[in-house]
Structure 1
Amino acid sequence: MIKEGKISRRSFFNNSLAGIGSLPLASVFDKSHHFTRPLKVVCVGGHPDDPETGCGGTLAKFANAGHQVTIIYLTNGDAGIKGKKPVETAQIRTAEAINACKILNAKPVFAGQVDGSSVVDNVWYAKIQKLLEDENPDIVFTHWPVDSHKDHMAASILTQKACIQMGQKFPLYFFEVYTGSQTQNFHPTDYVDITETQQQKRKAVFCHASQGFVTDAFYQRFHGIMEDFRGISISVKGAEAFIKLTTAKSAVI
């Protein structure tokens, strides 16, 4: 437990990365905080385009600040292009994800599940945990589990289980996608101002041309409007919203 007067917020960040989970997510970007090393940030998404649309602005903000960002895609998006075979579709969407990661300055990792047929079992619990252990993250993002798409739900459940198995040693944040249509009952605990990375995020999303993300009008209809709405909540031009997983371990500071 940290007692007031014993240690400053700044020195806490200087001396221990363990303090990340005890403060609001936005405070990580406070320039008065200096970390002993770059943070390792990992995002687990259901398909190519989910991490980009859900929290691409935040991931870009981390990378631009010198932190290491990895995006783990649960599936290759095999079923995401009508009229094309799964193998060809996966190749196209994997390439799009790689290009998007270049724009976000993130490392792409593909877990290898099949789009639309995601599996949640002991084998995949172990696989996702191994991927996260290999990255040794300080902060993790994934889908909110209450979602209309089962691949989103699977990505969330697998990531949550890995977090628990790894001793809940890093904060876990849930992001939203198509709230009201896919993400349900999302009541944010944290916001990140992405005004400075909105265009970078948009360029990354536009890499997913196979999904129709090729015009500003289309983007604004599905993603820009959410950035605007979340931005209003914290009085900035654009923002992304998150729900922090509160555990017994992280609830006591």
Structure 2
Amino acid sequence: MKTLSPRLVKVACVPIVFLVGLAFFSARPALAGADDGGKLRIICFGAHPDDCELQAGGVAAMWAAQGHKVKFVSVTNGDIGHWREAGGPLALRRKTEVEAAAKILGITTEVLDIHDGELLPTVENRRMLTRLIREWKADIVMGPRPNDYHPDHRYTGVLVQDAAYMVTVPFFCPDVPALNNNPVFLYYPDSFQKPNPFQPEIAVSIDTVVQKKLDALGVIISQFYEGGANGSADLLPADPQKQKERHQQVRDGFARRNQSTADRFRAKLEEWYGKDRAGKIKYAEAFEICEYGRRPDKAELAKLFPFFGE
């Protein structure tokens, strides 16, 4: 009987392996939320206690209003993110701020105890994020792209990428059951162009919740009203009327930021809402699909973002 040489067996296996991998990333399995009465489970990672609120506060409020489960995770504790104070007291202050923001948005929040400015993409931290994603039984995972000005932002993006697929591997972190289905991993927007610009597959109107998002950002006083690491005493007027004006200035700035997102991705809004409705949208958030997680088609994206009929 004639047998194939080892070299030919290896060659023959290559297409099979490729097809299995392709099926894994493109398949549309049942959502993890099927165990929660069809409710979605979303976990969003940011480097600091304010990043998730900035990038996904609008869609988080919309998901929460429909009964879906949303969790924000700050991967560092933000303990050097201020011009006047630092250390444990600042970390506790920032944790309190995002807890207040979470109550406004109707979501859950967690701040990990890693020093601000010292995050590294270690195996230990990869395990930590993998466990968090598994414990949340996430359908959607969000994080920053790994090309960013701040090392904590970059490495948060790398860690989220590294957790993609690994959340399905049973003997990686075997103390927490692996997910049967790889979640959809999404990136937040940014303005960096190299090595490649942000290219969203989805843009969502947040007009109905923009005031709630601005309210949530408004309680993160240390970062926005006081200016965070690059602020100064010049931002803190003593006169009560000037203080009100300063709060309004901050609020208006974030409103413009979300208006800019809507204008920047108007064409993408038209794909999802149609030209007439998209032309009336004032505020938006947008997200890009990470190729390392599940790759949903437009029909599945519409189920994951069930807002387009509103």
TM range (shorter): 0.7 to 0.9
- Structure 1 residue matching 2:142: 3-state secondary structure: strand
1:228 pairs with 2:259: yes
1:237 pairs with 2:282: yes
Question: Which residue identity is paired with 2:31?
Answer: L
- Structure 1 residue matching 2:295: 3-state secondary structure: helix
Deviations 1:104-141, CA, capped at 9 Å, x for gaps: 11111222211111121111111111111111101111
2:33 and 2:41 in contact (8 A); partners too: no
CA gap 1:19/1:94 in 2 versus in 1, 3 angstroms: closer
- Structure 2 residue matching 1:115: 3-state secondary structure: coil
Question: Which residue identity is paired with 1:216?
Answer: Q
Match of 1:81 in 2: 82
Quote the RMSD (CA, aligned, Å): 2.7
1:38 and 1:66 in contact (8 A); partners too: yes
Match of 1:197 in 2: 209
Q: Report the Cα offset of residue 36 of structure 1.
A: 4.4
Report the structure number with the largest CA radius of gyration: 2
Q: Report the Cα offset of residue 85 of structure 1.
A: 2.9
Match of 1:95 in 2: 96
Match of 2:128 in 1: 127
Deviations 1:48-88, CA, capped at 9 Å, x for gaps: 11000111001111111110111111011101122213111
- Structure 1 residue matching 2:111: 3-state secondary structure: strand
Q: Which sections of structure 2, spanning at least 5 residues, go unmatched? A: 1-27, 169-180, 226-245, 270-277, 301-310
1:17 pairs with 2:28: no
So what's the TM-score if we normalise by structure 2? Answer: 0.65
2:205 and 2:284 in contact (8 A); partners too: yes
1:16 and 1:36 in contact (8 A); partners too: no
Distance between the aligned counterparts of 1:119 and 1:71, measured in 2?
Answer: 20
Distance between the aligned counterparts of 1:68 and 1:88, measured in 2?
Answer: 30
How many equivalent pairs are there?
Answer: 222
1:218 pairs with 2:250: yes
Distance between the aligned counterparts of 1:116 and 1:200, measured in 2?
Answer: 30
Q: Which sections of structure 1, spanning at least 5 residues, go unmatched? A: 1-12, 21-34
Give percent identity, aligned residues only: 26
- Structure 2 residue matching 1:166: 3-state secondary structure: helix
Distance between the aligned counterparts of 2:110 and 2:117, measured in 1?
Answer: 19
CA gap 1:249/1:241 in 2 versus in 1, 3 angstroms: closer
Superposed, 1:117-196 pairs within 5 Å as 117-167=118-168, 169-176=182-189, 179=191, 185-196=197-208
Q: Report the Cα offset of residue 226 of structure 1.
A: 2.9
